[in-house]
Amino acid sequence: MTNDECKQVVLDIIADIAPDEDLTQVKPDVRLRDQLELDSMDFLDIVMELRKRHGIEVPEAEYQKLASLDSCAEYLTPKFNAAGAQK
């Protein structure tokens, strides 16, 4: 999986949990919570969906690594690739 594909996975999850958000103008280098109306429960939903849909575990101590789309891709892409290699 590429970084861009990973970003799209995160955007797809956000679209499902916050369907009223306009995701077309999300800047990849700006904190998601600064751009979107996401509260802490929405953020937890993102983490839970990553686990449920893709088997990706994000420990609570590493939640800050999911702050922006760029940081999500940097943190999650190796996890997706490792999970895909195990299948």
For 4-31, write each residue's pLDDT tens digit: 999 999 999 999 999 999 999 999 999 9
Checking if the pLDDT of 86 tops 70, the result is no
d(CA 59, CA 2) in angstroms, rounded, equals 22
The domain ranges of the chain are: 3-75
| pLDDT over 90 percentage in the chain | 91
Predicted confidence (pLDDT) per residue in 35-47, tens digit = 999 999 999 999 9
Tokens of 74: 């940097």
| Amino acid in the structure at residue 7 | K
Q: Is 76 in contact with 39 (CB distance < 8 Å)?
A: no
Predicted confidence (pLDDT) per residue in 43-66, tens digit = 999 999 999 999 999 999 999 999
* Residue 83, pLDDT score: 80
pTM of the model: 0.91
CATH fold of the domain at 3-75 = 1.10.1200
